[in-house]
Amino acid sequence: MLRQTSTHEKVIEKLTQLVTITEVLSTDKDVILKALNSNFRDFEDALQNYSAELNGQIDLIITRNIKDFKNSSLGIMTPENYLKATIANR
């Protein structure tokens, strides 16, 4: 999305910022095979799901596309619902 509206340099800057505040999970052969053989309609969503599942420390995916993760064994929340739940639990 950034490439459509920004210069290469700006994209690199923004991605660098993103990587400093997030963790990047591994996507290995097992993840790819699980994604390919899954009931997920979207391959990229399946990759995200199985990367998170196989990590073993993640129990929730935050996404705007809840319906795309109906086959996930993980908890799924929209960003809005996650923020509401976080604020409610303070």
Within 8 A by CB and 6+ apart from 58, the residues are 52, 74
Range of the domain at 43: 27-88
Q: pLDDT tens for residues 39-65?
A: 999 999 999 999 999 999 999 999 999
Contact 69, 63 (CB under 8 A): yes
Among 72, 76, 84, which Cα is nearest to 38's?
72
Number of domains the chain contains: 1
Residue 45 falls inside a structural domain: yes
The model's pLDDT over 7-16, given as tens digits with 9 standing for 90+, comes to 889 889 988 9
Per the CB < 8 A criterion, the answer to whether 87 and 60 are in contact is no
In a domain, 57, yes or no: yes
In-domain check, residue 14: no
Q: How far apart are CA 62 and CA 64, in angstroms?
A: 7
Tens digits of residue pLDDT in 24-37: 998 999 999 999 99
| Domain assignment present for 35 | yes
Q: What is the Rg, in whole angstroms, of the alpha carbon atoms belonging to the chain?
A: 15
pTM of the model as a whole: 0.78
